[in-house]
Amino acid sequence: MEQLEKLENQSIFIIREAYRQFRSVAMLWSIGKDSTALLWLIRKAFYGRIPFPIMHLDTTYKFKEIYEFRDKYAKEWGLDLLVYKNEKAIEDEVGPSKRKFECCTELKTNALKEAILKNKFKAIYLGIRRDEHGIRAKERFFSPRDEDFEWNYKEQPPELWDQFKSKAKNEEHIRVHPLLGWRELDIWEYIKKENIPIAGLYFAKDGKRYRSIGCQTCCEPVDSSADTIDKIIEELKTTTVSERSGRAQDKESAYTMQKLRSLGYM
Amino acid sequence: MKKRVIIIGLDGVPYELIRDLSEKGIMPNVTKLLSRSSFRKMRSSIPEVSCVAWSSIITGKNPAEHGIFGFTDLCANSYKLRFPDFNDLKSRPFWENSLVKSVVINVPSTYPARPMNGIHISGFVSIEIKKSVYPSTLVPVLESIDYRLDVDSDKAHKSMDLFLEDLEKALGARIKTYEYLWDKIDWEIFMLVFTETDRLMHFLWNAYLDTEHKYHQDFLKCFKKIDNVIGDILSKIKESDSLIMLSDHGFEKLECDVYINWLLKENTFLDWTVGEEAGLENINSSTKAFALDPARIYVNTNVRFPRGSIKDWDKDKVLRDLESLFTGLTINGRKVIKSICRKEQIYSGPYLEVGPDLILLGNTGFNLRASLQSQGITGKGIFTGKHTQDNGFLILADAGGEINIPEYPSVCDFTSIINGLNN
């Protein structure tokens, strides 16, 4: 079997297993390449009719192209689209220029908390991958979060020999990660193979392209001339730049820098 | 029974200010304390910044042993900045070395908090309350008294009134925390650091000097409040207890900022690729030396840096050229640099290699800054006070004749003093 087929089979197995186990589930769609690939797999797993909602956490700082892409394909694929905003935080003017450290927590984490509570979701599908970030390497396919949303990564169920712990206690919810074993390159090869539509921001324009997309305010394009999927695949085979290098530096450093600057220590 | 030791830290408070406010009756409890204490000037670390100084105070070690050289440092084999934290401290603080039960509140550079025998609330730069407190069961209590990890100094850049309001809240919450924890556990060492003093002096040193200043009374109010705490502690301590007060560095009036990287660029020691923004990551291989804040100079050697061009055998020549550049620097007829320290002269220990090659200390009033973005050699920002290296203070009360403290102690002497007291 080919690598991509193996990955696809495993992901679809996990997607179906989670739905069978929890029923009350939703998928988190950031409209980026990974979660769009995940959405594609979910459509395949349920033969085009997804039996649960697809959720978008709208921070209101996303790219225009992302909103357009979302609305176009939500309609075309007949998705049950749920858009969640933390209205209160937005009203309080939490944003990337003001109160930056709280921004992601309020606009993403707390919006998700609210959505889970309100809809009583037991499990959420996410398109994260182990090779994205050091801490994500520690993730499981079925990853429990307690009522405070805490992830106790030191005490997770082992997933040996492809045995997944797909049960959850009452007070917790489970994050389901069907793409955990995929690499960035696998995602692009799969997009090519399946001809999955993908946001235009990923393709080079004037020598720059986005490799990882979040909020417009906190991500930068990287230098690249890859304006087709083939060229992106070629680029990924040789690049030494990390996938998330265009994302704003980690929040703790940004916060520390701001504190030091305000006292003239930097 | 072991003696209990109480340590009160006043971040950045100079010897002369303690003397002045106690003589003027602003700090009557300090006056009372001084009448039965040894009162010394204390030398800070080099550079004279809180993270380095407190790291030396709590470990008794110099930067080449404890590994903290400044608020920023460089990633290995790179020009990329990183922010060292408590986990980068290579020696154990005194409260982790002994079985003595301790309460430690707001010591700078001790974030994130980690398990110890007692209670620890970390100080500047603490980011999240959850990671600042050990044991974590204390978090809800601190939240309920609106504990502030630090004063929001950003406010001072917008409105001094808002800043002072925030400072008062932070100080108030710090005091409440001390009151709450005093009887909470059966401690043998209780250490409480006030960092509000440093924040206040950065922005309002001029308000201290000028009795007519709009914020003069606000400045004094902060010290009065702290004096009340000292009075409260004096009323609570037993005869067998020892009380120590200290600061990590001093303060003085800031005349002007002096930008070291600008000087290095003007004198062709520092260069970055044309068209690129000024940033350490853009410096090119014709760079011989560059600075990190406040005035730590690194020679761009080929063994240490990716675009390093200075060979080992040329390094000493570069250092000598730098020394003559800094020695000759004058502004308005005054010499700017007081001393130029080679790391081998002031540090010793296993981490010497990763330290800066030269560290500069400025003459009175000159605030040395690295700064890559400045448009000239000098500038003046919002700050009216600056750190000093030679006039921190140490007050040791009720020690009897048993403890020998040096005439002019340094921050590195502190742990041996508490060890002496606690035995």
Every domain of chain B and the residues it spans: 5-253+386-422, 256-379
Judge whether residue A113 has pLDDT over 90. no
Asked whether the beta carbons of residue A259 and residue B157 sit closer than 8 angstroms, the reply is no
Q: How many domains does chain A have?
A: 1
CA distance B132 to B138: 10
What is the per-residue pLDDT for A107?
82
Candidate from B82, B83, B153 with C-beta closest to A263: B153
For residue A266, tell me if it sits in a domain.
Answer: no
Task: Give every CB contact of residue B98 below 8 A, 6+ residues apart in sequence.
Answer: B422
What is the per-residue pLDDT for B400?
59
Asked whether the beta carbons of residue B71 and residue A266 sit closer than 8 angstroms, the reply is yes
Chain A residue with CA closest to B291: the answer is: A266
Q: What is the mean pLDDT of chain A?
A: 87
| Domain span including residue A23 | 3-176
CATH of B5-253+386-422, one of 3.20.20.140, 1.10.287.1260, 3.40.1080.10, 3.40.720.10: 3.40.720.10
Judge whether residue B1 has pLDDT over 60. no
Please tell me the distance in Å from B422's CA to the nearest CA on chain A: 35
What is the per-residue pLDDT for A102?
72
Average the pLDDT over each of A169-173, B300-304, B397-401 and give the range with the smallest value.
B397-401
Chain A hits for B124, Cβ within 8 Å:
259
Mean pLDDT value of segment B120-124: 97
Judge whether residue B414 has pLDDT over 60. yes
Chain A hits for B383, Cβ within 8 Å:
264
| A262 shares contact with chain B (CB less than 8 Å) | yes
Q: List the single best residue of A152, A242, A256, A258 to mutate versus B (max B Cβ within 10 A).
A: A256
For residue A196, tell me if it sits in a domain.
Answer: no
Candidate from B72, B154, B381 with C-beta closest to A266: B72
Judge whether residue A168 has pLDDT over 80. no
| Chain A from 138 to 157: CB within 8 A of any B CB | none
For the stretch B21-46, pLDDT in tens is 999 999 999 999 999 999 999 999 99
CA distance B291 to B373: 12
Please tell me the distance in Å from B277's CA to the nearest CA on chain A: 16
CB of B288 closer than 8 Å to CB of B318 = yes
Candidate from B83, B199, B369 with C-beta closest to A253: B83
Judge whether residue A249 has pLDDT over 70. no
Q: Give the domain CATH number at A146.
A: 3.40.50.620
Backbone angles phi, psi at B356, to 5 degrees: -70, 155
Amino acid at B143: E
For the stretch B292-330, pLDDT in tens is 999 999 999 999 998 999 999 999 999 999 999 999 999
Chain B hits for A255, Cβ within 8 Å:
125, 127
Please tell me the distance in Å from A119's CA to the nearest CA on chain B: 28
Q: What is the mean pLDDT of chain B?
A: 94
What is the per-residue pLDDT for B68?
98
CA distance A221 to A68: 19
| DSSP 8-class letter at A107 | I
Residue B256 burial (C-beta neighbours within 10 Å; 0-12, 13-18, 19+): middle
Please tell me the distance in Å from B128's CA to the nearest CA on chain A: 9
Judge whether residue A200 has pLDDT over 90. yes
Task: Give every CB contact of residue B313 below 8 A, 6+ residues apart in sequence.
Answer: none
Asked whether the beta carbons of residue A263 and residue B125 sit closer than 8 angstroms, the reply is no
Mean pLDDT value of segment A224-249: 84
* Nearest of A80, A30, A26, A39 to residue A194 by alpha carbon: A39
Q: Looking at chain B, how many residues does it have?
A: 423
Q: What is the DSSP string of B238-294?
A: -TT-EEEEE-SSEEEE--EEEEHHHHHHHTTS--B-TTSPS-GGGB-TT--EEEETT
For residue A33, tell me if it sits in a domain.
Answer: yes
What is the per-residue pLDDT for B423?
63
- Global ipTM: 0.87
What is the per-residue pLDDT for B21?
98
| B165 shares contact with chain A (CB less than 8 Å) | no
Please tell me the distance in Å from A231's CA to the nearest CA on chain B: 27
Chain A residue with CA closest to B294: the answer is: A265
CA angle in degrees (0–180, nearest 5) for B315-B318-B321:
155
Q: Whole-prediction pTM value?
A: 0.74
What is the per-residue pLDDT for A1?
64
Amino acid at A89: A
Please tell me the distance in Å from A62's CA to the nearest CA on chain B: 26
Mean pLDDT value of segment B331-357: 97
Per the structure block, which two tokens stand in for B215? 């914020």
Mean pLDDT value of segment A186-215: 92
Chain A hits for B12, Cβ within 8 Å:
none
| A253 shares contact with chain B (CB less than 8 Å) | yes
% helix, strand, coil for chain B, step of 5:
35, 20, 40
Judge whether residue B181 has pLDDT over 60. yes
CA distance A261 to B152: 12
Amino acid at A42: I
| A75 shares contact with chain B (CB less than 8 Å) | no
CA distance A3 to B367: 61
Please tell me the distance in Å from A24's CA to the nearest CA on chain B: 31
What is the per-residue pLDDT for A171?
67
Asked whether the beta carbons of residue B381 and residue A264 sit closer than 8 angstroms, the reply is yes
For the stretch A44-65, pLDDT in tens is 999 999 999 999 998 888 889 9
Asked whether the beta carbons of residue A262 and residue B154 sit closer than 8 angstroms, the reply is yes
Candidate from A253, A257, A262 with C-beta closest to B157: A262
Chain B hits for A265, Cβ within 8 Å:
49, 71, 293-294
For the stretch B254-305, pLDDT in tens is 999 999 999 999 999 999 876 666 778 889 999 999 999 999 999 999 999 9
Judge whether residue B13 has pLDDT over 90. yes
Please tell me the distance in Å from A262's CA to the nearest CA on chain B: 5
